[in-house]
Amino acid sequence: MKLPLIMLSVLIALTACSSSSTGRTQVMLFSDSELDKMGAASFEELKNKTPISTDKATNDFVQCVAKAITKNVPQSVHKGDWEVVVFDSAQVNAFALPGGKIGIYTGILTVTENQDQLGAIIGHEVGHVIEHHSNERLSANKLKNMGMAAATAAVGMSDVENKGLWMAGLGLGLQYGIIMPYSRAHESEADIVGQDLMARSGFEPSASIKLWQNMAKLSAGSSQGSPAEFMSTHPSNQTRIKQLSQHLSSSMKLYQASNRPNCQKPKVIPLAKS
Amino acid present at 96: A
The DSSP string of the chain is -HHHHHHHHHHHHHHTEEE-TTS-EEE--S-HHHHHHHHHHHHHHHHHHS-B---HHHHHHHHHHHHHHHTTS-TTT--SPPEEEEE------EEEETTTEEEEEHHHHTT--SHHHHHHHHHHHHHHHHTTHHHHHHHHHHHHHTHHHHHHHTTTTTTTT-HHHHHIIIIITTTTT---PPPHHHHHHHHHHHHHHHHHTT--TTHHHHHHHHHHHHHHT-TT----GGGTTSPPHHHHHHHHHHHHHHHHHHHHTS-----PPPS-------
Cα–Cα distance for residue pair 126/110, rounded to 1 Å: 20
Active site residue 125: yes
What are the C-alpha distances in Å from 202 to residues 96, 112, 113, 180?
20, 17, 16, 33
What are the C-alpha distances in Å from 144 to residues 6, 25, 187, 197?
16, 17, 21, 32
Catalytic residue among 34, 44, 125, 187: 125
Closest CA to 190 of 231, 154, 155: 231
Q: Catalytic residue positions?
A: 125
